[in-house]
Amino acid sequence: MPLKNLNSDQLSAVKSNQGHNLIIASAGTGKTSTIVGRIAYLIQSGVAPERILLLTFTNKAAAEMIVRVAKFFGKDVAKRIEAGTFHAVSYRWLKKGKRNIALKTPKELKLLLKTLYDKRNFLNFSEEKTKPYVYSYLYDLYSLYLNSTNVESFNEWLSEKSPEHEIYLDIYNDILDEYRELKAEYGYANFDDLLIFAKDEIRDSKISFDEILVDEYQDTNPLQNSLINTLEPNSLFCVGDYDQSIYGFNGSDISIISSFKDVYINSKIFTLKKNYRSTALILQLANDVIKSNLRVYPKELEVVRRDSNIPPRLLTCADVKEQYRAVTAKIIESNTPKEEIAVIFRNNATADGVEAILRENNIPSKRKGSLSFFESKEIKLFLDIATLLMNPKDMMAFIHIFEYIKGVGSAISKELFDALSLLGDGDIIRGLFRPNDIANPFKSKKNFQLGLFDDYFVLEKASRFKNIIDDDSFLKNPILKHPKLTSDAVKFIYNFYILYKHINSKNPTRIVEFINNSHLFKDIKDTITTKRATLKSGEVDNELKKEADLKLDIKINILKDIAKNYDDLNRFLNALILTNSEMSEGSGVNLLTVHSSKGLEFKEVFVVDLMEGRFPNHKLISKGSSLDEERRLFYVAVTRAKDRLYLSFAKYDKFRNIDYEPSCFLNEAKLI
């Protein structure tokens, strides 16, 4: 019986009538059990699983809840529930609605925005006190705008937020207009677009549910909230904790949870008070700190646990590295299984330091596999080659590949892309194999404008490459007339041509194998590993080269393993972007940022780098965040601990030569 183990507070929430229900669930009060219980209750009451929508903050959280539902009703029933993050669920709907989506990472789209930004002239404003936003910040701001408001225009929003930037509004808008146009032309979408497009899909396909459950409701932002509203739910079951709202930088808006009772007049509010997770002294500490924040809903936590009560400990160290050593020493002497220990920090950069010291002491650790894998050149190249197969309009992917040609940079790559696009009516693969009959495909507007076209651009004959490549149909392609192409470049393009000519499957695993065996990839792979094995003297070290080759092959095999889980290439590629940050590498002690620790619990928790400036992060506060939000972050971090909590700080950072004061939260926690 799924409801048997619930306490009375949880049970009354779980059994509430359909309608607008808000469940205030402090840390460790059995939020997940309550959501799972509610789903069970709905199914038992006769609601069809596919009429239930469960929105969570990570896909992992959704998967865990579904597993728990499956224990009661079986896998077949559980998997009919629509569950996932706002983004994952939106993507599924768009797929079903046959809206083709080519997801791009923010990094990639920032690069696109940069090329547009760089064309603009800010010189007239060089005397201004206020400098224009750099392109990457403009991207972030625009994204924040999309997530933060549904009513204002970007101009209104920005003028309100930063009036001193009004002088630049025209330029910003001009850049963003072109950016939106290009995004549409190349078929790109980012995380924000998923939600925006999903709202249309909901209306067009009349998507609806009998009940929508929202986990981590305190971190919902106005865009996500508008998506919920678009679904016009008759019944809502929102679970959250005001004190754990930590995504302000992503537009999450506390007023959504705090105004729930006003927005939905007949709403019911339930409060889960019993904390099962942490010992009394850990909770005491958490509450001592969080009480400095303004209360919206009263908080009266009841401690359930009486089995153990080890006081939280402060570790004070002279230097940052010494601090990590002290933490490591505690981990070594602890009997707690490594998987039940977490080191939690405010900034990702801390992870490197902690990881290094742990490794010195042969303690295995686990951290989010972010940069290393998907950001590596070889994997990116791989994905770009595959992406182009799915989306032959993808300018960015094309340019990334062609930039590997010596002597060809982004400019010539773009000229070649535009030419192929013209030859193939927007489809560069078609332009490659069945080019339109255009003698000169290179009439780039850009060159005309600069008046340089004629000087620089005298078409050559493609036949000049006859003795290198024996393939008449390839040599017929007009792009080979480009005067800047060397014979090496043409060999490269021929490899590219052959790859796409022979690729005959859209099965992700087969594609990975096929690309891996292609001449194109082999050659670039060699370039990459040779560079990695090149010493400062310029010599190539054979040992290093072998090692680099091996490492690269291992990565390809990891990619192959991931590919096995998918049978649709487009889904595979998009899933890598949607979920890549949720994949973690290794096993053992967990290394987490406060943000990614949300929703998790560990027997033993170390919160490190608790210095004024770093945590709380002063720079952010000065940029418009708040001390309250930092305090909530601290609250989230310490409430992850079940049995033992260590807080640590260092007085000095030798590496950066900075003296530190202890974090104000240590004071509020009555530890100093």
Q: Name the residues that contact DNA, by CB under 7 A.
A: 57-59, 85-88, 106-107, 114, 134, 136, 140, 191, 247, 249-250, 346-349, 368, 371, 375, 403, 405-413, 446, 450, 452, 456, 578, 581-582, 593, 595-596, 617, 619-620, 623, 625, 656
Is the separation of the CB atoms in 86 and 55 below 8 Å?
A: yes
Nearer to DNA, 247 or 442 (CB): 247
The neighbouring-strand residues paired with 344 are 592, 607
Instruction: Give the CA angle between residues 637, 638, 639 to the nearest 5°.
Output: 95
Nearer to DNA, 443 or 619 (CB): 619
Token pair 């396909």 in the structure block, residue: 205
Q: 27: which 2 tokens?
A: 């840390």
Nearer to DNA, 434 or 619 (CB): 619
**Closest approach of DNA to the CB of residue 191, in Å:** 4
**Closest approach of DNA to the CB of residue 60, in Å:** 8
**Closest approach of DNA to the CB of residue 483, in Å:** 12
CA distance 17 to 3: 16
CA distance 346 to 351: 10
**Closest approach of DNA to the CB of residue 18, in Å:** 27
Neighbours of 36 (CB within 10 A): 25
**Closest approach of DNA to the CB of residue 402, in Å:** 9
Strand order in the sheet with 236-240: 82-85, 52-56, 211-214, 236-240, 20-25, 268-272
Nearer to DNA, 77 or 621 (CB): 621
**Closest approach of DNA to the CB of residue 388, in Å:** 19
DSSP class of residue 125? Answer: G
Nearer to DNA, 643 or 653 (CB): 653
The neighbouring-strand residues paired with 188 are 102
Return phi, psi of residue 306, to 5°. -130, 5
CA distance 547 to 533: 8
Token pair 């705090």 in the structure block, residue: 258
**Closest approach of DNA to the CB of residue 136, in Å:** 6
**Closest approach of DNA to the CB of residue 299, in Å:** 23
Nearer to DNA, 20 or 87 (CB): 87
Is the separation of the CB atoms in 230 and 86 below 8 Å?
A: no
CA distance 343 to 647: 10
**Closest approach of DNA to the CB of residue 127, in Å:** 17
Nearer to DNA, 367 or 525 (CB): 367
**Closest approach of DNA to the CB of residue 43, in Å:** 25
> What residues contact residue 170 under an 8 Å CB cut-off, 6+ apart?
none
Measured CA to CA in angstroms, residue 566 lies from 90, 194, 339 at distances of: 19, 21, 29
Nearer to DNA, 74 or 409 (CB): 409
Q: 584: which 2 tokens?
A: 């973690």
**Closest approach of DNA to the CB of residue 76, in Å:** 26
The neighbouring-strand residues paired with 102 are 188
Is the separation of the CB atoms in 54 and 82 below 8 Å?
A: yes
Nearer to DNA, 569 or 637 (CB): 637
Q: CA Rg, the chain, in Å? A: 28
Nearer to DNA, 355 or 643 (CB): 355
Nearer to DNA, 492 or 514 (CB): 492
Nearer to DNA, 163 or 483 (CB): 483
**Closest approach of DNA to the CB of residue 137, in Å:** 8
Nearer to DNA, 14 or 479 (CB): 479
Q: 667: which 2 tokens?
A: 């004071």
CA distance 177 to 586: 43
The neighbouring-strand residues paired with 24 are 240, 271
Measured CA to CA in angstroms, residue 539 lies from 58, 291, 473, 531 at distances of: 47, 62, 40, 10
Identify each DSSP E strand in 562-654 by its residue range: 584-586, 589-593, 602-607, 641-653
**Closest approach of DNA to the CB of residue 452, in Å:** 5
